[in-house]
Amino acid sequence: MPQLAFETFVPQLVWLTIVFGFLYLVLARVALPRVATVLEERRDRIADDLDQAEQFKRQTDEAIAAYERALAEARAHAHEIAQATRDRLNEETERQRKSIEARLAEKIGIAEKQIAATKEKALGNVRDVAIEVANAVVTELLGNADRAAAERAVDNELK
């Protein structure tokens, strides 16, 4: 078994020490720190990117919030305007209605007054005619007539 050839042990050990020691030094001093730097840089970079993404997201959220606020404001404003317009129109309509009503009322008043005057006049005519008739009838029947009594009787009846 070549593995038990003792005279080969010392050179193997010597070279193992040299090679392993050299490999250790190169890896520990040069190669591994470089890998560590690259990995660290990447980690930092990723963290930075995440931070940035986070920031962007925050900005986006803010923009969305602002937009929504503006939208809500606009909506409220529009609502206000609509309300105001509605109110104004209502008022106008009301005013016009009132003025028309007033005019109508005036006309009705005038008409009523005319009617009343006409009626009164008519009633006045009726009284005169009635007095005349009553006077004439009483004169015809009794020969003479008390005009004042006839007037009183007619007024009594017309009441």
Partner 1 sequence: MATENAEHGGGGFAIDPMHQFEIKTLFPMQFGNIDASFTNSSLFMVLAAAAVIGLMLTGINRRAMVPGRLQSIVELSYEFIANMLRDNVGTAGLRFFPFVFTLFTFILACNLLGMIPYSFTVTSHIIVTFALAFFIFIGVTILGFAVHGVGFMKFFVPHGVPVYLLPLVVPIEVVSYLTRPISLSVRLFANMMAGHTVLKVFAGFVIALGSFGIAPGIVPLVFMVGLTGLEVLVAALQAYVFAILTCIYLNDALHMH
Residues that bind partner 1 (CB under 8 A): 1-5, 7-17, 19-20, 22-24, 26-28, 30-32, 34-39, 41-42, 45
Shortest reach from residue 14's CB to partner 1, in Å: 4
* CA–CA gap between residue 43 and residue 36 (Å, rounded): 10
Shortest reach from residue 54's CB to partner 1, in Å: 20
At 13 the three-state DSSP class reads helix
Question: Minimal CA–CA distance to 110: which of 124, 123, 102, 99?
Answer: 102
Shortest reach from residue 50's CB to partner 1, in Å: 15
Residue closer to partner 1 by CB (options 7, 140) is 7
Q: Which amino acid is at 73?
A: E
Residue closer to partner 1 by CB (options 40, 62) is 40
Phi, psi at 37, each rounded to 5°: -60, -45
Residue closer to partner 1 by CB (options 5, 142) is 5
* Contact yes or no for 154/127 (Cβ under 8 A): yes
Shortest reach from residue 53's CB to partner 1, in Å: 16
Residue closer to partner 1 by CB (options 9, 67) is 9
Shortest reach from residue 59's CB to partner 1, in Å: 25
Residue closer to partner 1 by CB (options 10, 148) is 10
User: H or E stretch including 3?
Assistant: none
* Region at 118 (left for phi over 0; alpha for psi -120 to 50; beta for the rest): alpha
